[in-house]
Structure 1
Amino acid sequence: MAFLLRVALPDVPGSLGALATALGGAGADIEAIEIIEHRADGVVVDDVLLDLPPRVMPDALVTACHELPGVEVQWISRYTAGANLSMDLEAVERFTNEATRAVEAMVDLLPSTFRTDWAMAVEFIEGRVAVRAATPSSPDLVPAAERWMQIADAQPLDPTSEWDSTVLAAAPGRDRFDRTFVVVVGRHGGPEFLTSEVARLGHMVSLAASVQLG
């Protein structure tokens, strides 16, 4: 059973090895580790994709992590976006190779790249907000979607009454045909989007818009 663990730990030699040893001792099989943020206070935030046997409860991982000095578990949940973490460069390579539908291909890749539950791109068509692209698990549009079209840069979004338990982030784009759109991603229940994640999302949307040919 795949789980995603987000953990903050001291950015010093040996910390990651100690974490891996603790998780392995708790029964987890680590599939991938990705550093997602280096903080100014000497802390690094990692996403750890791991496989957990049915007999092992996620709480055991949390306990194992918190026994290490300076380690804090920020989030742990089932991971349903796929069996492996998709790195940013891999995602960029894939949607660049599909230039006639780069934005649509990027939307498809965002959940596995950013560990979100869904992603969608919205745009104005004849004065109304419409979905340009969406992953299969994306929810229906909400009235707040019209406000999303006004954002000028990548940013977290305020929760909506319809999705009050969903953490949202968005980034605007404009393709070479002068079509504007906004990409929105959501996580049910968290974790909150880090500043570095929001910046990455903005860069990826801009790149997809720049290579879009259709």
Structure 2
Amino acid sequence: MTYLLRVVLPDRPGTLGAVASALGVEGADILSVDVVERHQGQAVDDLVVDLPNARPPDVLITAAESVRDVVVESVRPFFGPLDTARELELVESVAAAPERGIDLLVDAVPRIFRSAWALVVEASTGDVWSDGGTRVRRVAASSAAPETEAQTLPWLPLVKATVLDPSAGQSVPSAWTDLDTELAAAPLGRSDRALVVGRPGGPGFRPSELARLSHLAGIVATMTG
């Protein structure tokens, strides 16, 4: 079974190697490592780890955290491909077929950000409900995106990439938050259109991931006009 393990560890030589050794003792094999961010002496890494089916995923947490000052932020099954140049491949695909740019974006974003789904929503300017809320339409969605569509999204227009937190008043359809889904959104070319990404079971989106999401959405919006 393959898992995605997000670890927070001291950003010093040898620490990741010690984690790899500890995981190896439990029979786990690291397939890939992505550096999510580095800040103030700490690193956040995503490890794709293969574990024998007879071993429970809890051993990954115990093994990694046996290394001093290492914390496992989340562990969840991983079924995606091991892409190494995901953003570049998306940009090349959009350049070849800009008329399909938004569809290509929502299909690629789940792989790029190791999430389950992505969709693009847009506020219908001047089109309001009787209660004054602005109507929202779905522009595009990945295959695994929730079928439930939003009627209104109070946080649109959106000025910058952000984590969506329904408990803080950033309401979304309940289907979007099933399975403890973490949500992030970024403007797509203009403030009334947004790219939304869902990651069931976490981990939460970090500032560096929001920056990448915003940058990628901006590139695709520019290329598609």
TM-score under structure 1 normalisation? 0.88
User: Aligned pair in 2 of structure 1 residues 83, 53: CA closer, same or farther (>3 Å)?
Assistant: farther
Give the stretch that moved more between structures: 49-58 or 97-106.
Answer: 97-106
**Counterpart residue number, 2:97:** 98
Q: Is the 8 A contact 1:32 1:85 kept in 2?
A: no
**Counterpart residue number, 1:182:** 194
Aligned-residue sequence identity (percent) comes to 40
**How far apart, CA to CA, are the structure 1 residues paired with 2:194 and 2:143?**
18
Whichever residue aligns with residue 137 of structure 1, its letter is: A
Q: Say whether residues 1:132 and 2:139 are aligned partners.
A: yes
Q: CA deviation at 1:27?
A: 1.3
**How far apart, CA to CA, are the structure 2 residues paired with 1:105 and 1:79?**
22
Q: Is the 8 A contact 1:119 1:184 kept in 2?
A: yes
**Counterpart residue number, 1:192:** 204
**How far apart, CA to CA, are the structure 2 residues paired with 1:94 and 1:13?**
37
Q: Say whether residues 1:142 and 2:150 are aligned partners.
A: yes
Secondary structure of 1:146's aligned partner: coil
**How far apart, CA to CA, are the structure 2 residues paired with 1:148 and 1:104?**
23
Q: Which runs of no fewer than 5 residues in structure 2 stay unpaired?
A: 128-134, 167-171
User: Aligned pair in 2 of structure 1 residues 84, 69: CA closer, same or farther (>3 Å)?
Assistant: same
Whichever residue aligns with residue 185 of structure 2, its letter is: A
Q: CA deviation at 1:106?
A: 1.2
Give the stretch that moved more between structures: 180-189 or 190-199.
Answer: 180-189
Q: CA deviation at 1:186?
A: 0.8
Aligned CA RMSD, in angstroms, stands at: 2.0
Moved >4 Å (runs of 4+): none
Q: Is the 8 A contact 1:156 1:169 kept in 2?
A: yes
Whichever residue aligns with residue 2 of structure 2, its letter is: A
Secondary structure of 2:154's aligned partner: helix
Give the stretch that moved more between structures: 194-203 or 96-105.
Answer: 96-105
List per-residue Cα deviations over 1:36-88 (Å, max 9, x = no partner).
10012x010000112222111111111110110111100100113x1214543
**Counterpart residue number, 2:221:** 209
Secondary structure of 1:13's aligned partner: coil
Q: Is the 8 A contact 2:122 2:138 kept in 1?
A: yes
Whichever residue aligns with residue 122 of structure 1, its letter is: V
**How far apart, CA to CA, are the structure 1 residues paired with 2:16 and 2:150?**
42
Q: Is the 8 A contact 1:2 1:83 kept in 2?
A: no
**Counterpart residue number, 1:69:** 68
Matched length: 207
170, 178, 188: which one pairs with 1:173? 188
**Counterpart residue number, 1:152:** 159
